[in-house]
Amino acid sequence: MNDPPILNHPILGEIVVLGKIARGGYASIWNAYCVEMKTHVCLKIDEKRKAETENEFRMMKLLNHPLTCQFYGEFKSGDNVGAVLEFIEGSTILDFINKNGVIKENYARYLFAELVSIIQHLHCELGMIHQDLKCENIIIDTHNNLHLIDFGFAHLDSDNLPLSYSGFGTPGYIPPEVIKGNRYTFSSDIFSIGVLLYSMLVGRLPFSGTNSAEIFHHTVTDPVNYPETISDDVIDLLDSLLDKDPIKRPNISQILLHNWLNPIIRGIKLIPSFEGLRKLDKYPDGKLDQEVLNLFNDYGYSVENLLYDINHHIDTKLVAYYLFLRNIQISNQLSNIQITLFIHQSSHSPKSTREGLSKSTPGFEHQNQAKIVQPNLSLKIKNQAPQIIQPNAVRKPNIPKAKK
């Protein structure tokens, strides 16, 4: 049996390539192990469209949110470009629903609140339009949290890209105005998260067909049909998100104030800007995390230029270590936030307005209904139903000591 191939990364050192996870239209995703950081990572390697991949890496370097896939560094291997990314154990929303059935409202409300928090970061803080929000691009991890993992078509609103760039996206998630030839806007992303929420609750896409032309036709012309199993409040929200007219769709601030989201937001005190999650970014309040800095001191590292390097997107070993350690800390804190949330929900869950909906359920449940069936590639890492972890089930930091 041959030994697995080893990538010698210029900053992170030896990375053992363990096997291919998935292959997309122009890039492949690999499971790998970083020897120095003693942790699993993902490698994303482009083989065809270097310009698009380099743009994706540029977008990922701007991200500063606990629920987006962490970017550790990029590299070149022959004619290919690639990146070392966070390994997120879990399954995509697509795989999760196809295996378990639709997601009940209590848990869907929590996941959607996390998704809105991510979109708030993209739209309001970065001016970034994602352009490909779909079930395959979001992973539910083993802590029950949602992560946005792909930014292949993302761009800044200020980039002023040609209209032809708006041809990208996935049928079923592309909004009517883009199908008609208009540009992607922030409102276009809002339509896509409406499709995502509908899919979680209903188990299928709101607009379907046997080919792209049929899907586009139904998206532009058909009303949305709802089952009797979901509440009036979430139907009201979905109607606004999936409005054919982009001007009539709510923005992120308006979504946060909707009655359906209020129980979640009140439960963990996230109004008006998701402070509970935002405090978990890479450098809260513009400063480096003191606990992580203390670990660096214990390991013998100097942190004199660390904040400058992070702010200017300079790839160094210390930047990668900081992001790795901060990511572990964020993961553990998110677990505690979620446990607090579900304790709150178990005693304060709102009652359903329709029969068949669980009235008070901490955690999550599933219903066996229609499955989402799509030919699109799913970046499955591990098809495993999440389990709520306990506060003491924390990840431990592990980096090498500084060489003297």
Q: Which of 3, 79, 95, 132 is labelled catalytic?
A: 132
Query: Is the whole model's pTM more than 0.85, yes or no?
Result: no
Query: Does the pLDDT at position 361 exceed 70?
Result: no
Sequence ranges of the domains in the chain: 6-86, 90-271
Residue length, the chain? 404
pLDDT of residue 292: 79
**Which tokens go with 287?**
């400063």
Question: What token pair was written down for 103?
Answer: 């997601």
Rounded percentage of the chain residues whose pLDDT exceeds 90: 35
Tell me the C-alpha distance between 261 and 197, whole Å. 12
Cβ proximity of 308 and 316 under 8 Å: no
Residue 48 has pLDDT above 80, yes or no: no
Spatial separation of the C-alpha atoms in residues 172 and 207, rounded to whole Å = 6
Mean pLDDT confidence for 203-210: 93
DSSP state for residue 31 in the 8-state scheme: E
pLDDT tens-digit map of 244-288: 999 999 999 899 889 998 777 665 544 333 455 555 566 555 667
Write down the pLDDT at residue 260.
94
Burial class (CB in 10 A: 0-12, 13-18, 19+), 307: middle
The answer, yes or no, to whether the previous bond of 386 is cis (omega within 30 of 0) is no
Strand partners, 34: 15, 39
- SS3 at position 328: helix
Are the beta carbons of 115 and 150 closer than 8 angstroms?
A: no
Structure tokens at 44: 């994303």
What confidence score (pLDDT) does residue 200 get?
96
Q: For this structure, is 232 an active site residue? A: no
Rounded distance, CA 334 to CA 317, Å? 26
Q: Which residue has the higher pLDDT, 181 or 338?
A: 181
| Host H or E run for residue 266 | helix 262-267
* In contact, 87 and 115? CB cutoff 8 Å: no
CA atoms lying within 13 Å on the CB side of residue 402: 13
For residue 338, CA distances in Å to 265, 271, 360, 364 come to 12, 16, 16, 12
Q: How far apart are CA 178 and CA 175, in angstroms?
A: 6
Q: Which residue, 145, 87, 85, is CA-closest to 112? A: 145
Which CATH number describes the domain made up of 6-86?
3.30.200.20
pLDDT in tens, 96-116: 999 999 999 988 998 999 899
Taking the C-alpha atoms of residue 186 and residue 120, their distance in angstroms, rounded to an integer, is 10
CB 243 within 8 A of CB 89: no
E-assigned strand segments in 221-365: none
Is residue 238 helix, strand or coil?
helix
Task: Answer with the residue of higher pLDDT: 286 or 326.
Answer: 326
CATH level 3 topology of 90-271:
Transferase(Phosphotransferase); domain 1 (1.10.510)
Kindly give, in sequence order, each residue whose CB lies less than 8 Å from that of residue 24, ignoring residues fewer than 6 positions away. 152, 377, 379
